[in-house]
Amino acid sequence: MRVLAFFVVLPSFLWAASDPSLARLEKQLQLVSKVTDAVVGVSATHIESGRTVSVRGNEGFPMASAVKIPFAVQVMNQVEQGKTALDKMIALAPQDLHPGSGTLTDLFFHPGVSLSLENYMELMLVISDNSAADVVLKEGGGPAAVTARMKALGLGGIRVDRNIAVLVSDWSGAKNLPPESEWNRDMWDKLYDAVPDAEHMRARRANWVDPRDTATPDDMTKLLVHIFKKDLFSPKNAEVLLGMLERCQTGKARLKGLLPAGTPVAHKTGTLGGIADDVGIITLPGDAGHVAISVFTKASSKPGDVSEKAVAEVARTVYDYFTLVPAATQTAGTR
C-alpha cells in the first residue's frame, strides 16, 4: 500500500490558528503603532498565500484621498461596460476647480481646457489632484454609484458619500456652501477664511468619527488584492489602473518610508488634519511575493510626520515578516 502525503494551503481565515507567528506580528504592529497618538488601523494580506493580519481591521477610518481608489475602480467599471471611455475628452469648467491638493486649480485660471478621462485619472492617482478626482467621480456616476459598486464586490465596509470638495469643506467647518453651479476657484478661500479657528477644530474632530467616506482596513485591502489580481476589469484596463498607482508621487515617508530603496509600491495616500493614510501593494524581494496593505490613522493631535512614521514602521514590520517567514503548508492527511 502506498502512503501519499498531500498538502492543503489553508484559507486566510484559518491562518491565525495554523500560524502562531501571525499573532506575534499583530502584537508587533500594535507596538510600533504607538509612535503616534493616533488611532491606527492595519490590514495586510500576503497575496500569494492568503495569510492576513489585521489590527482594528473592521473599524471605519476616514479615507481622505485614499477614497480616490474606489473612484477609479467605479469609473473603470463604467469603461468596461461601454458607458464611458478613457479617451473621452471632458472640459474643465470653472466650477470644477476645487480646493486642496493637485495642480489644476492653481494652473488653469481660464475656461477652454479639456482633458481625457485617462488624464484626469492619472492626475487623481499620481499627484492626488482634487479637481481631477471630482471630475472622475462625476463621470463614474457619483458617490452612491461608487458605494453600490463596493457593495457589489462584497466590500460593504467602504462607503462614499460626498465628493472631495464637499468633504474638504465639511472638514474645514465652512458653512452655507452655494450650489455647485456657482462654485469657482476664488470662492473657496473666502469660505474657509470665514471659519473661526475654534469652529474649524470642532469640524476636524467631528470628521474623525463621521461614518461618511470611511473604509475598514480589511475591505480596502481586499479591494487592493482584486486590483493586483486584475480580476475586476480586462487585463488592459487593469494594467492602466495598476500603473497609475505605481506612479504615485505622494507619501514618500509613509509605506515607502522605511522600505529598502527602490522597493516597488503601488499605492495611494490620504491626508487631512489628524489623518495620515496610505494603502497599496508592496512587492517583496526575490520570490517572496506581494503584500496588499492598508494603514489608516485618525484623531492625531501631533504633527503629521508623527503619524507618517507610524505608517512607515507598520509597513516595514509587515515587509520584514512576509519576506522572512515563508508561507506554511498544512498537512491535511495521508492515505
Set of cell numbers at residue 310: 507610524
3-state SS, residue 250 = coil
Write out the H or E segment, with its range, that includes residue 206: helix 197-209
Q: What is the grid cell recorded at 325?
A: 517567514
Query: Please, where are the H alpha helices in the chain?
Result: 15-18, 20-32, 68-80, 104-107, 117-126, 130-139, 143-152, 164-172, 185-193, 197-209, 217-229, 235-246, 304-324
Domains and CATH numbers, the chain: 5-62+215-334 (3.40.710.10), 66-209 (3.40.710.10)
Q: Which three cell numbers stand for residue 235?
A: 487585463
Among 294, 268, 276, CA closest to 57: 294
Q: C-alpha cell of 145?
A: 454609484
The pTM score is: 0.91
One digit per residue, pLDDT tens: the chain, 335 residues? 333 333 333 444 444 445 778 999 999 999 999 999 999 999 999 999 999 999 999 999 999 999 999 999 999 999 999 999 999 999 999 999 998 898 888 887 777 899 999 999 999 999 999 999 999 999 999 999 999 999 999 999 999 999 999 999 999 999 889 999 999 888 998 999 999 999 999 999 999 999 999 999 999 999 999 999 999 999 999 999 999 999 999 999 999 999 999 999 999 999 999 999 999 999 999 999 999 999 999 999 999 999 999 999 999 999 999 999 977 543 333 33
DSSP strand pairing (61-62 vs 52-55): unpaired
Q: Specify burial of residue 57 (Cβ count, 10 A radius: 0-12, 13-18, 19+).
A: buried
- Output the nine-digit C-alpha cell for 272: 487631512
CA distance 129 to 193: 22
